[in-house]
Structure 1
Amino acid sequence: MIEQIMDRLTAVMFRVLGPAIRVSNRVLDRLPRPLDPFRSIKLKLAILLGLAGTTGITVFWFGIGWIAWKTAFAAAAVGLVTLQIFAHGMTKPLREMTAAARGMARGEYTRRVRATSRDEVGDLARAFNQMATDLGTADQQRRELIANVSHELRTPITALQGVLENLVDGVAEPDPEQLKTALAQTERLGRLVTELLDLSRLDAGVVALRVEELAAAKFLADSVAQARLAWPEITFELAPPDQSLRVQADPARLHQVFANLLDNAARHSPQDGTVTLTACQDGSTVQFEVIDAGPGIAPDLRERVFERFTRGDRSGTDGGTGLGLAIARWVVELHRGTISIADGGSGGSTGCRVRVILPILL
């Protein structure tokens, strides 16, 4: 019975005081937060209790001539008002984080929390804002990935479907040229799926390197020989490194890097162009360079080419998937190395020079 009466009294009090509290909160939001400079929430609580108690005692002291219950009520009211004014800035970020978290559950990542205090709540608010930014970026990347994958899959599927429809309808004969086109589109689909699986494994951190000692000269010669088979119209030149130059690496993954780099260089080189591969030791590292005589990459775009599905101006015309350099960067970083675009192409042209630096010992 007593619990029911208390519940009813509480409900009535909230109905009566609720609008006043909401109005006071809107007013307090416009006021400065005097406790923000303090770095400890414990200190803030101590200051709050001290201020509330001091104001209450002061009112009670000067109002001692009043009727006792009125004096006590006035002192308590003044203390609570003081507490509300000074505590508002402490609890507001928590309410904002609650509202922002509910927005995130609906897919809204644009809301931010005012983080002006220097205590633990302020640190939490700043961490929350950083988390919201990261989640928003991840969500945007997810949307872009879905859109890009859909586009990449649609292009070869549409071409393959067109070839097969022509063959079925009798519009075209199944001659070697038609079959070659169908095979090329099928290979493009297979390459895209393989590279997406590689990126998925790399993102999940489940790729284990099988490191062994490699002779740089033989490894590069094998890479160039395979590139020549794929691009017979391109001249591949290998500046033979020192025969004693060796590096510790995963041969399969490292071959993936140079196959992508040589393929990109050939793809963006002119007809009868030249692609050069060099390697030299620089202290405890080995510096590899793949150089072409193509149009090159503008300095402000050199970092972006290592992002997924970035293929430059020739996007959609050369059969690339836009994932090769992203995978190359992941593999190089797994080997504790770096990959970057340097200035200058072959023969003093404006081509592209991709530089890979790997430690000799892992």
Structure 2
Amino acid sequence: MRPLDRIRSIKLKFSIVIVVAVAISALVSTIGLRTGIPIWVRPFISATIALAVTYPIARGMTSPLREMVAATEDLAAGRPAGPICSTSRDEVGELARSFDAMRTQLDEVDRQRRDLVANVSHELRTPISALRATLENIVDGVEPAEPEVLQVMLRQTERLSRMVAQLLDLARLESGGSPMHPRRVDLGPLLAQAAAEARLHSPDTEVTVTCPEGLALDGDPERIHQVVANLIENAVRHSPPGEQVRVEADAVGDRVELRVLDAGPGIPPDEAERVFERFYRADRSRSGSGGGSGLGLAIVRWIVDLHGGDVRVEERPGPGCCMTVVLPACTEVPT
């Protein structure tokens, strides 16, 4: 800790430095007058002693500014910047801590950008490689163009198309390029429709809906449907065949609480937040064709945040996972 770090005002620190310099000058003049030091020598002695005393203090006061300048130059040149020393409690210390927080956020954004490029490359390369290998076999006559083979190729193409669509959708949400159209949304019919769509794609999984009559919320109906559909799709994908996926909704004060429960392997507590990151999968073994794109829950969080709500993973007794979404209830009286 530097000498004046405990003082909370930079103006008071400068005042102390000035007072010290003046006091040194007065002390040297008094001593010089009593010892007979020539009057023209006294200013040089005063300045030398004052500089020797106040320079370390002033340097300690401004060192965070020099560190921030160096860090800014590193960031501008694309180099990683080190942490800023911010032990001071004054305005410069507050600025240094804010700058350090910004630097940390920039490092995290840069890490996410690198991860995104690597993940997109991997996720696109996998189906493209499978398509290329199959097409080469068909062209070379190694494998006949049978309906089963073409069906596999179609599924890979659909997976590519779905992933690109989700990436574009997520980019629009993050950039604000996808406007919201909030209005009253009756939750019962919306949940029933999303469950019916899930049953069409996965007839082996039973999807049940429990929702009080008349329960409604304020939001964009298309986006709310997207949230529910993504959560149900995720639950169905991770549930064993023949198991049940439950969709429940209740009013809790001025909020609506929506829960999607499955009987899958669940999500470890230490990964409960990371599952909402792009391309993150709690079950690494599902990164191939058996898993999703890794974008569904990221889209869910963005949409819920835009509605002023919250989405989280909640623990439940026994196996399975419970995804809970909390959104503002509808304040409009139906006509």
TM-score using structure 2 length:
0.91
Match of 2:40 in 1: 69
- Offset at 1:246? 2.5
Contact kept? 1:109, 1:133, Cα under 8 Å: no
1:278 matched to 2:248? The reply is yes
Distance 2:315 2:182 in 1: 31
Computing the radius of gyration from Cα coordinates, the structure with the larger value is: 1
Q: Where do residues 177-256 of structure 1 align in structure 2 (5 Å cutoff)?
A: 177-239=148-210, 241-256=211-226
Equivalent position SS for 2:40? helix
1: CA distance, partners of 2:268 / 2:191: 28
Decide which moves more: 260-269 or 108-117. 108-117
Give the stretch that moved more between structures: 277-286 or 117-126. 277-286
Tell me the CA shift for residue 350 of structure 1: 0.3
The alignment partner of 1:111 has SS state of coil
Tell me, in whole angstroms, the C-alpha distance in 2 between the residues paired with 1:76 and 1:217.
82
Please show how residues 281-296 of structure 1 align to structure 2 within 5 Å.
Answer: 281-296=251-266
Secondary structure of 1:320's aligned partner: coil
Residues 248 and 360, structure 1, Cα contact 8 Å, conserved in 2: yes
SS of the counterpart of 1:68? coil
Q: Distance in 2 between matches of 1:131 and 1:121?
A: 15
Q: Which amino acid aligns with 1:354?
A: M
The Cα shift of 1:187 comes to: 1.2
Native 8 Å contact 1:236 1:274 kept in 2:
yes
The residue type paired with residue 41 of structure 1 is: I
RMSD: 1.9
SS at match of 2:323: strand
Residue type of the alignment partner of 2:307:
H
Q: Cα offset for 1:206?
A: 3.1
> In the alignment, residue 299 of structure 2 is paired with which amino acid?
I
The 5 A counterparts of 1:39-58 are 39-58=8-27
Residues 319, 176 of structure 1: alpha-carbon distance in 2 compared, 3 angstrom cutoff: farther
Aligned to 1:90: 61
Other-structure match for 1:131: 102
Q: Which moved more, 1:274-283 or 1:189-198?
A: 274-283
Specify the alignment match of 2:313 in structure 1.
341
Q: 1:286 to 1:67 in 2, by over 3 A?
A: closer
Structure 2 counterpart of 1:357, which letter?
V
Question: Deviations for 1:33-60, whole angstroms, at most 9, x for unmatched residues?
Answer: 2222222212211111111122123223
The Cα offsets for residues 293-315 of structure 1, whole Å up to 9 and x where unpaired, read as: 11112222222211221112233
Percent identity among equivalent residues? 47
Deviations 1:247-275 (A, max 9, x none): 33212111111111111111111122222
How far apart, CA to CA, are the structure 2 residues paired with 1:283 and 1:66?
84
2: CA distance, partners of 1:46 / 1:287:
57
Name structure 1 gaps, 5 residues minimum.
1-31
AA in 2 matched with 1:288: L
1:175 counterpart = 2:146: yes
Structure 2 residue runs of 5 or longer lacking an equivalent are none
Equivalence for 1:8? none
Tell me the alpha carbon deviations over residues 290-335 of structure 1, each in whole angstroms, 9 at most, x when there is no partner.
1211111222222221122111223313241111011111112222
Query: Which amino acid letter does the alignment assign opposite residue 231 of structure 2?
Result: L
What is the aligned partner in structure 2 of residue 322 from structure 1?
294
Q: Does 1:355 align with 2:321?
A: no
In structure 1, C-alpha distance between the alignment counterparts of 2:185 and 2:89, rounded to whole Å: 53
Shift of 1:110: 4.5
Q: Does 1:305 align with 2:275?
A: yes
2:216 and 2:330 in contact (8 A); partners too:
no
The structure with the largest helix share of the pair is 1
- Shift, 1:278, TM fit: 2.1
Give the structure 2 partner of residue 9 of structure 1. Answer: none
TM-score of the superposition, structure 1-length normalised?
A: 0.85
Deviations 1:70-114 (A, max 9, x none): 333222211222221321211211112112222222334341221
Cα distance in 2 for partners of 1:142, 1:47 equals: 47
- Residues 198-252 of structure 1 show CA distances to partners (whole Å, capped at 9, x for unaligned) of 221222233321123232221111111111111122222233x233223332121
**Higher RCO (CA 8 Å, separation ≥ 6 residues):** 2
